[in-house]
Amino acid sequence: MHNLQQFAVSSNGDRWFLGKRDSDAEAIVLHRANPSSGGHETVTLVADFLNIRPFGPEREALIELLGVGDDAGDPQQNSYISSSQ
């Protein structure tokens, strides 16, 4: 992963980063759990991350960083898709 940019941190110390996967430069979200819980890391494609329910403040922070609209209330838009699909 490269070009990591932190976009959210929770009150318990979890952190979320936007970056690119080394193998194909696909945009990903890296979630790094707080150190006291082991600091486990999870990598999720951006489109998948934006569709995870329930929506949390980290999703809103990513939408703000990306500068994309949030049409979650629009029944015509039930998910985000990757531009590489």
Compute the distance between CA of residue 15 and CA of residue 68 in angstroms, rounded to an integer.
21
Give Cβ neighbours of residue 34 (< 8 Å, ≥ 6 apart).
10, 12, 13, 14, 15
Q: How many CB atoms lie within 10 A of CB 16?
A: 24
Q: What is the pLDDT of residues 11-69, one digit of tens each?
A: 999 999 999 999 999 999 999 999 999 999 999 999 999 999 999 999 999 999 998 76
Residue 70 has pLDDT above 80, yes or no: no
Specify the pLDDT at position 85: 44
Q: Where are the domains of the chain?
A: 2-66
Map residue 74 onto helix, strand or coil: coil
List the 27-32 sheet strands across, edge first.
Answer: 2-9, 15-20, 27-32, 41-45
Q: Could you tell me the pLDDT band of residue 79, with boundaries at 50, 70 and 90?
A: low
What does the pLDDT read at residue 34? 96
